[in-house]
Amino acid sequence: MGIKLDVPGSGHLVREARERSADRLRWARTVRGKEIAEAIAVLRDPRSYGVVLTGDASLGKSAVASVLVSELEATAHTVRLRSTIVGRETPYGALALLLARLPEVDQGDPGSIMRGILKLLAADAGGRMSVVALETANNLDELSTATLVNVMVTGTSKLIIVADRASDLPVDFHWMIAEERLREVPLAPLAPEQTLSALSELLGGLVPRTVGLQLHAMSRGNPQVALLTVSELLQKGLLAEADGVWRLSPDADTGSIRQLDDLVRARIEREPADVQTVIEALACARRISLERLVSAFGGEVIARMEDAGLIAVDEGGRHSTTLTDPLVGDVVRGWLSVPRRRELRRLLLADGEPPLEVITTVELLGLAAWTRECHTPLPVAHAIAAAAASLRLYDPGFALECLDGVEREPSTWPTVQRLRARASLALQLPRQALQYLEDVTEEELDELSPTAAAKFAVSRAEATRWVPGRGGEVAGLLADARGEVLLRIGMGGADDAEARHAMALLDLAEFEHAAFTGDYAGVVDRLEAMAAGRGAPDDELRLIAACILMEARTVLGREQEALALMHEIASQLDRHPTAARLRHEYASRAFVVLLYNGHWRQCLALLKGMPQWPLARLRTAGASVELAMGLAYVYAGRGRDALSYLLSATALLEQQPVLNSLGSAYAATAFAYAQLGDAAGARLWLTRLDGLALPSSSAAQAVTEFCAEMARRWIGDPGASRRLVASAQEDILRGRWNRAGIKLVGATVEGGPEELRLLEAVCARRQGPLAEVGLLLARGSRTGDLAELTRAADLASGLELDALESRCAAVALEKASEQGDTVTLRLMQARLDALAGRLPVLPVAPSRALPVLTVREREVAVLAAKGTSNRKIAEDLGLSVRTVEGHLYQVFAKLSVSTRSELAGIL
């Protein structure tokens, strides 16, 4: 994208998006361009009888057929036919439009009618190609079928047939499909990337991936549903733009989309009453065992629905049953009254809620949602289990709903309040989380087992950490909790296994707090022990400790050890497919490991799973991923690539904050603008940052400080380098060699020998290629060692860190010029010339650059360097040989070379 978003005026994007969303055919061209092109090519093939557009209901087959007709109208005669639902019982039902135009003399018998229709189509075409578009072809009667077969076989017209499945077509069409005289063009749901691309064209401006993927999840890849959803959300203001960035309201859903309601009603009302009742029941339940469904409604209707593709039955386990099209369930729930929901609940759950041990997580969550929609309280055990499952699936809002109205019972109240606190923390409400926890009495806490008490203390510590001004209380809270747990264990309140588990939970909480505050050195030895299995009661907790350890190793300058541990953990994750916390810890901390090692492309690869996330997770964590993508690019010096992600992240985080990371987003955006040479844009975002004061983790503070000071340095703030050095010295005191080194690389662009020696000393305490770049750059800058500076540039190039490579090359060029090393001088100049094409602004501009070639001189030089003869160069460029010779003379003189091989070494 460009440096700035061009937003002509308030509401401009919304007005244009509303206009585009009303154009059904334009949308079809956008989302089905490949299929339309394929169908057009088939229809123009002389051997072809036509195309069959297939796909599930509401996938937009009719719109694609309309586009095909409109594309062909200029060069072909087109006819649109439609077979009604009673067409199979009506002779020539699909051809009624043509039949009405036949003279009475041609309507005597089927043979006369067939010949009359053929003649009519040929006469209307007037020698042009004739195309007949036929919808709902699965309702064709025999006489219509026979006539259409002859229409195709005789070459009178080609057909565009719309059908849900090719197997639904009359048997007479099957041989044509088998021999590819009729070509099937299937329409499938859109992949996430297709939806993102189409929505960007539909809406204009900047559509964050998070927003696009939410709309994809809401529509389940159905392009027609996506269009209707976007259209109505625009009308309701639930999809709106701010500064050219689209944002989606957190409570936007498909259940209240009027046009979808009409679409689903038209489909449902065609079904018998008993089928409609089962659809309503499954819509409420979401997923339920086949046994319960058959018991309530009988096997015959269920079998008919499965044969018709209305329901899907899981082959394993409890044979869980769902509606094949989840959209139907979403819409049907919207029109059911509370009494009707309760009636259906009594039908399916006559003997009460299924025991927790026999239902799946998905069935449990469906049951919880259904119960809430009936305004009926869940049993406490079911409510707790559903809330815990919702938190694992990143849906804190629904977790709170599950626990709403749960009655206070001493044995379960601490668990209920702890889950409410966790949900509130996920919603960025730490004060509310603490209120929930402080509502639990000492007497209720005394009844907890050591493990439950440890979990409660961990939640209290985490909530306290995020409340402004109370972070200093966390260490004391955890120490007190450790004493309480030890006291319970000493009083015989736990066996050895539970005692180890409780203490391990408190250890992990202490490690997490140390990581939050940046005090890695104080806990690294204990982390090493737990990651090795000492003190870890199970493999999952051991691996969580290992995840914290890999981040600690990175920050403490043991980057290569951290990478090795990261790969070791990754190889073990498959053993824990349902361990949501472990996978979250791994992803978030592996990102830090990769980013601080300079492996920005691997950072992007780590985030690639976002399109497969469920809707709830996209809503709660999507903005964090947008920010992470932007950080990967901006740390790599690629501000242009970073900007779209960062602008998306800031817009989304301003709407719904995540982990108080808005400051990091502001600072990174400022840095991206600075990398593009846009000082005004950088200052704008730095001003926003200056007015922000939110508690955040040490890692977020480090990102914010580094990006902000680097932005200030790039736009000429004389104090930025000094502040970066001071911050690095604080990191050194706390053993954070990696962070110190990264800051010093940025701070020493114009640094003196003292700062360069400090950078060299810090990088000597670190590991990996990024540390080696810093060390070689510092030492080479001080000593003028061209070999070290060249090696630093090569290492930076291997990491694809263009800005860092350009700095190494610029320093090498300066030193080579001072030393009169023309070979290195030319090589570094060529390197900088190549980098200048990728970097809008070089972080270091060499004062002794080689003479600049004119455009024509460069054209001649490039061809000469490839070994092209002067005569061939003259022919290719339309010059005389003498002119080419003159240009080459100038090139050789400017670049101080005497042969074409030397020239090739530069260019």
| pLDDT tens, residue by residue, 33-60 | 999 999 999 999 999 999 999 988 778 8
- Three state DSSP letters for 777-809: HHHHHHHCCHHHHHHHHHHHHHCCCHHHHHHHH
CA distance 90 to 87: 5
Q: Which tokens is 71 given?
A: 């594309």
Q: Which tokens is 511 given?
A: 């490690």
* pLDDT mean by block of 10 residues, the chain; 907 residues: 44 85 91 94 93 86 92 90 64 84 82 90 91 80 89 93 87 90 93 93 92 91 90 90 89 77 83 92 91 90 89 80 88 90 90 85 91 89 95 92 92 96 93 96 90 94 92 93 84 75 94 96 96 90 96 97 97 88 93 96 89 82 93 94 95 86 95 93 94 85 95 91 96 97 93 93 96 96 95 96 93 91 88 82 61 72 82 83 78 68 65
- Give the tens place of pLDDT for each residue, 401-437: 999 989 999 999 999 999 999 999 999 899 999 999 9
Query: Which of 697, 711, 718 lies closest to 666, judged by CA?
Result: 711
Q: What is the pLDDT of residue 897?
A: 66
CA distance 435 to 715: 45
Q: 322 - beta bridge partners?
A: 312
Q: Please, are residues 60 and 187 in contact by the beta-carbon 8 Å criterion?
A: yes
pTM, full prediction: 0.85
256-262-267 Cα angle (round to 5): 120
% residues pLDDT > 70 (the chain): 94
DSSP letter for each residue of 265-319: HHHHTTS-HHHHHHHHHHHHHSSEEHHHHHHHH-HHHHHHHHHTTSEEE-SSTT-
- Give the tens place of pLDDT for each residue, 495-512: 778 888 999 999 999 999
DSSP letter for each residue of 463-499: HHHHSTT-GGGHHHHHHHHHHHHHHHHHTT-S-HHHH
CA distance 18 to 458: 49
- Give the tens place of pLDDT for each residue, 262-294: 878 888 888 899 999 999 999 999 988 888 899
Which domains can be identified in the chain, with CATH numbers? Answer: 12-19+191-253 (no CATH), 33-186 (3.40.50.300), 261-510 (no CATH), 518-597 (no CATH), 767-847 (no CATH), 855-906 (1.10.10.10)
